[in-house]
Amino acid sequence: MHGRTPILAASSILAALLSPAAAAAATTFTVDPAAPAGCSGANVCRTITEANAKVADGDTISIRAGAYQEPTIAVTKNDVTLVAADPGKVAVATSTTTANAPTFTLGDGTGAGRGTTLRGLVVGVPATGGPAVLVEAAGTLVDASSLQRSGATSDQAVYAVDDSGSGITGGTNTVRSSFVVQLANPAEAGAAPGLLGGAKTSLVMEDTTVVVGEKSGAGVVLPGNDREAGSARTAVPNRITRGTILTQKATANAVEVLSGAASAVPKATVLDSVVLSPGSDGAGLRAASAAGNPALQGSTAGDIAVTARHVSVAGGGRPFALDAAALPMPAPLSAVPGSPVTPSAPVGRIAVTADRSIAHGRAASTVAAAAGNQTQAGSSARLTVKDSDTTDNSGGTDAAGTTVTGATTRTADDALFRNLAARDLHLKASAPVIDKAGAQVAGESATDFEGQPRITGAASDTGADEFLDSAPVASLKADRAAVNQGETIAFDATGSSDIDGPVARFAFNFGDGSPAEESTTGATSHQFTKAGAFTVVVGVLDSGGGTAVATLPVTVADVNPPSVAITAPKASSRIRLFNVRVLRKALKPVGGRRRTRTTTTTTLRRVLFTGTASDEAGVRSVELSLRRVSVTRSKAKVGRVVRTVTAKRRTAARRTAASARAAQSATCAFLDLKVKRFAGRSCGKPIFLNVAVKDDKWAFRLKKDVAYRLGLYVLSARATDVNGVVSAPVSTTFRLR
């Protein structure tokens, strides 16, 4: 029974899956550029256009890797998903040469095409093209995609919502986990934004990065979400959660919230955990009332209410710009059919609240509540900066109309951001706003602008970034990799880095047994006295306690031979080679005469050669050579000695002459244990014998399997270290007697 449970469960799940699927019968079409033209019976089509012509509501188009150039793809069935079978490898751009033709059109304004999803696509446009994605529906989703207008000469948003069609009465369009890039041709000068929201529908952006180049306009323009919504005037706020919005034109604002509609319903916008990086004279957020709808004289533009929490704005002219004076719609909006373009009197009330945010700029925010042509009673503009780090004037409401309240601080840009000049608004490890924004508030993003946990450490951090210490990166260089013993190598770890701030400490371990060395500069040098192959390690420690290591191999050549010495025999010593024992035994007298038998027994004495050998790197071996210089006339024999004749004593002069002759003849007698006798060899090539060495001491004992002769000998010793460096031999002359 135990074993059957999974099978039963699996079959019941299968049954549950099959029955509703049979009713829904959604079809997946596959687009494969290698397929024959048209669509096969197996629903494999060569082009997206062909598949799109076949789909019914709820179907999926799965697109294989390829670069697709097709006429504008207009999705007019509902809940159709176009998904890359190979995410990131499906590039789509329109082949249409008509000016401003989009690559995708989602919906047609009649209510068709709602619920379309684009997922995993790279969508581009030709130079004269329109938006990469034009939305004329609601409920659409662009997910995990990259929308690009690069080198474009036409001035269009990359992603634009046109919800002016009568079939659209509200709803939300979403861009999630995507990149939106607006890089117009450098020769052009346009004003189009990266994304343009709808007037009746909400725009929700999540985890999306927007980059708009210097020849275009704002990052995101939100014209409101409640224009002419008829009887169902429910404001659904625009929402930008997590992500970065970066604009490069000097005057470009990162986000604009505009109101020109004839509705009193608030145009609510929430920014949560977003980095706003405007142009050098732009604002992080501009909220402005535009003209009312001339067709609805006397009505007001809808009020604007913006909540910005955990937002970081810096690097621009000002954090916020509020303008309740009546203004004409900006150019990109006037291009949207149905947008009001005529300046007229009515304006709305603007309220922007920044909470636990970093609100920086070269100048303070601007708040313009009333301009000369503004006549509508009750118009107002109010900016509140609360519990934030801001360059706005503190202390009540300043002359410009900004109220700075709560636990506000004023920190210099350099003390906050990793690299503001490079538009990197991550917090430095030393930023004083870390852990200053308290607990997470219900409804807020649980993660920071880049998706890291909102609370790291004791509390959340002010602004969009929650500081999460990154490990440093260690780097180690040396002026050379190979030296001789006793030489010095310079090490340089100053190339180590930490993205959060400077590296705090460096610890060097040279690998040769010497003590580790600490440094705050990252540069040091070390003299290697030992030979060998070593791994030098540098450990770097950042201010947050993160560590990293880098290693470098070095080789130190052994140039010091071992030192070797002979301790026995002493120089010029005379060593008795034999023990002689004489036994006399009295025999029975013969004929009254005493008889004595004398037995002389000769044995080899214990003759031990000893010495020392040492080396810093260690001794591998010690070798001896024993040269017989001269012999007595008689052979010494272990056992019975018949007689002993001592050779004529040579004078020093005669010895010198003898050794000179030996050198001339270049033949010497060396002990050769292989043949167990003294063998003749060239004097320059002694026969060496390996001897036992332990703890820097060596010893060798003469054994009786060689017939030694009494006479003059020279013992030489040499040692080899573990690196193969051989010492010069040392010698001792002695005599066996």
Considering only 102-110, 340-348, 440-448, 571-579, which stretch makes contact with Ca ion by CB under 5 A? 440-448
* β-sheet bridge partners, residue 532: 556
CA-CA-CA-CA dihedral for 53, 59, 65, 66, to nearest 10: 20
Between 351 and 425, CB nearer to Ca ion: 425
Considering only CA atoms, which of 334, 452, 726, 414 is closest in space to residue 562? Answer: 726
Amino acid at 547: T
Considering only 176-184, 446-454, 569-577, 670-678, which stretch makes contact with Ca ion by CB under 5 A? 446-454
**Smallest distance from Ca ion to CB 521, Å:** 18
Alpha-carbon distance of 61 to 46, in angstroms, equals 12
Q: Is-cis flag, bond preceding 569, omega within 30?
A: yes
Between 229 and 271, CB nearer to Ca ion: 271
Between 169 and 408, CB nearer to Ca ion: 408
Mark 548-581 as b/e (b = at least 16 C-beta within 10 Å). bebebebebebebbbebebeebeeeeebebbeee
Binding mask 597-626 for Ca ion (x = CB under 5 A): ------------------x-x---------
Considering only 20-28, 148-156, 427-435, 679-687, which stretch makes contact with Ca ion by CB under 5 A? 427-435
Note whether 452 binds Ca ion by CB under 5 A. Answer: yes
**Smallest distance from Ca ion to CB 487, Å:** 14
- In the numeric block, the tokens 């701030």 are attached to 501
**Smallest distance from Ca ion to CB 604, Å:** 37
Q: What sign has the CA pseudo-torsion 4, 8, 14, 18?
A: positive
Between 301 and 431, CB nearer to Ca ion: 431
**Smallest distance from Ca ion to CB 427, Å:** 7
Considering only CA atoms, which of 615, 617, 621, 619 is closest in space to residue 534? Answer: 617
Note whether 448 binds Ca ion by CB under 5 A. Answer: yes
Considering only 31-39, 125-133, 301-309, 553-561, which stretch makes contact with Ca ion by CB under 5 A? 553-561
Site for Ca ion in 24-43 (CB under 5 A): none
Site for Ca ion in 105-124 (CB under 5 A): none
Angle at 99 between CA 96 and CA 104, to 5 degrees: 50
Between 212 and 425, CB nearer to Ca ion: 425
| Binds Ca ion (CB under 5 A): choice among 59, 226, 389, 461 | 461
| Binds Ca ion (CB under 5 A): choice among 88, 294, 453, 457 | 457
Q: What sign has the CA pseudo-torsion 311, 313, 319, 325?
A: negative
Site for Ca ion in 513-552 (CB under 5 A): 542, 544, 546
Q: How many CA atoms lie within 13 A of 723 on its CB side?
A: 20
- In the numeric block, the tokens 């993003």 are attached to 445
Between 33 and 618, CB nearer to Ca ion: 618
Between 469 and 492, CB nearer to Ca ion: 469
**Smallest distance from Ca ion to CB 248, Å:** 23
Between 321 and 503, CB nearer to Ca ion: 503
Alpha-carbon distance of 52 to 116, in angstroms, equals 12
**Smallest distance from Ca ion to CB 544, Å:** 5
Between 155 and 500, CB nearer to Ca ion: 500
Task: List Cβ neighbours of 577 (8 Å cut-off, separation of 6 or more).
Answer: 604, 605, 607, 636, 708, 710, 736, 737
Site for Ca ion in 151-170 (CB under 5 A): none
Site for Ca ion in 283-342 (CB under 5 A): none
Considering only 9-17, 101-109, 286-294, 724-732, which stretch makes contact with Ca ion by CB under 5 A? 724-732
Between 496 and 560, CB nearer to Ca ion: 560
Number of residues that make up the chain: 737
Please state whether beta strands 578-590 and 593-604 pair in parallel, antiparallel, or not at all (unpaired).
antiparallel
**Smallest distance from Ca ion to CB 159, Å:** 26
Instruction: Please spell the DSSP secondary structure of 267-334, one letter per residue.
Output: EEEEEES-EEE--TTSEEEEEEEEPPPGGGTTPPPPPEEEEEES-EE-SSSEEEEEEEEEEPPPHHHH
Considering only 22-30, 376-384, 455-463, 474-482, which stretch makes contact with Ca ion by CB under 5 A? 455-463
Q: Give CA 632 to chain center in angstroms.
A: 82
SS3 string, 385-399, reads EECCEECCCCCEECC
* β-sheet bridge partners, residue 427: 417
Site for Ca ion in 663-722 (CB under 5 A): 721
Between 198 and 532, CB nearer to Ca ion: 532
Between 103 and 720, CB nearer to Ca ion: 720
Alpha-carbon distance of 27 to 81, in angstroms, equals 11
Considering only 289-297, 366-374, 388-396, 444-452, which stretch makes contact with Ca ion by CB under 5 A? 444-452
Site for Ca ion in 366-425 (CB under 5 A): none
DSSP-derived 3-state class of residue 667: strand
Alpha-carbon distance of 284 to 618, in angstroms, equals 70
Amino acid at 269: T
Amino acid at 297: Q
DSSP-derived 3-state class of residue 122: strand
**Smallest distance from Ca ion to CB 146, Å:** 23
Between 370 and 468, CB nearer to Ca ion: 468
**Smallest distance from Ca ion to CB 615, Å:** 4
Between 145 and 209, CB nearer to Ca ion: 209
Considering only CA atoms, which of 198, 154, 217 is closest in space to residue 339? Answer: 198
Alpha-carbon distance of 397 to 285, in angstroms, equals 19
Between 406 and 486, CB nearer to Ca ion: 486
**Smallest distance from Ca ion to CB 38, Å:** 50
Alpha-carbon distance of 538 to 474, in angstroms, equals 8
- How far CA 418 is from CA of 25, 318, 493, 688, in Å, comes to 53, 20, 21, 70
Note whether 555 binds Ca ion by CB under 5 A. Answer: no
Count the site residues for Ca ion by CB under 5 A: 22
**Smallest distance from Ca ion to CB 200, Å:** 35
Note whether 243 binds Ca ion by CB under 5 A. Answer: no
| Binds Ca ion (CB under 5 A): choice among 558, 630, 711, 712 | 558
Site for Ca ion in 492-511 (CB under 5 A): 498, 500
Between 303 and 542, CB nearer to Ca ion: 542
| Binds Ca ion (CB under 5 A): choice among 469, 487, 492, 672 | 469
Note whether 435 binds Ca ion by CB under 5 A. Answer: yes
DSSP H/E element including 712: strand 711-721
Alpha-carbon distance of 648 to 572, in angstroms, equals 18
**Smallest distance from Ca ion to CB 136, Å:** 37
Considering only 141-149, 214-222, 664-672, 723-731, which stretch makes contact with Ca ion by CB under 5 A? 723-731
Considering only CA atoms, which of 188, 191, 186, 242 is closest in space to residue 221? Answer: 191
Between 405 and 470, CB nearer to Ca ion: 470
Residue numbers of the site for Ca ion (CB under 5 A)?
A: 435, 448, 452, 456-457, 461, 465-466, 468-470, 498, 500, 542, 544, 546, 558, 560, 615, 617, 721, 725
